[in-house]
Structure 1
């Protein structure tokens, strides 16, 4: 794991999660998924670089020049609390994902 981060949001609100990745994964699709690695379920992923992708309450943008991707979750609820993964390589090698612990306050 590159890192593990904890973020807190408020029920009904919006949260922005910033995930850093190793520059060797710049060309890869980026995925934000819920659950443990491996076997987490994809919520949103990039199809190409340099543009926002939207899926329901989730948005994702891959800033390849900074080696960071940003995930936005809107209309948060208690059910969103839990463990997520920011992944930059489907091999799940140790340096290719960041674990995100999300806590929602009502």
Structure 2
């Protein structure tokens, strides 16, 4: 293996280890329907609040739903969020979709002492006709 190839592998692995963005997922739904979005997070964040927000950039996204210290399940309007701390995943249910809902969203664990842990969600909503 050449030194250049070895460095590319190390660099790629290093980029994957950056804690800001765990991953990026794509979700497809239909107008009038709903989607379930499953967001994984590191087990060390099980006691942190989780949230789902919309916006092109994670640092300026607007919260749509958020857990709090007492509730691992919340329901608000078109959204519900359940945090399964044993599996280190939370699920967001997004109901009554319209084509205008297509866009970039973020699943995140709220880490008050540092940067939040994000997963980018690209939602595509198609006509339900």
TM over 0.5: yes
Distance of 1:24 and 1:49 partners within structure 2: 18
Please provide the CA RMSD for this pair.
1.4
Stretches of structure 2 that go unaligned for 5 or more consecutive residues are: 1-20
Structure 1 runs of 4+ aligned residues shifted over 6 Å read none
TM-score of the two chains, using structure 2 as the length reference? 0.76
Highest Rg: 1 or 2? 2
- Higher share of residues assigned strand: 1
Among 28, 32, 53, the alignment partner of 1:8 is 28
- Higher share of residues assigned helix: 2
Stretches of structure 1 that go unaligned for 5 or more consecutive residues are: none
Paired positions, count: 104
Q: Does 1:62 align with 2:62?
A: no
Q: Which has the higher contact order (CA 8 A, sep 6+)?
A: 1
Aligned residue for 1:23?
A: 43
User: Does the 8 Å contact 1:31/1:86 carry over to 2?
Assistant: yes
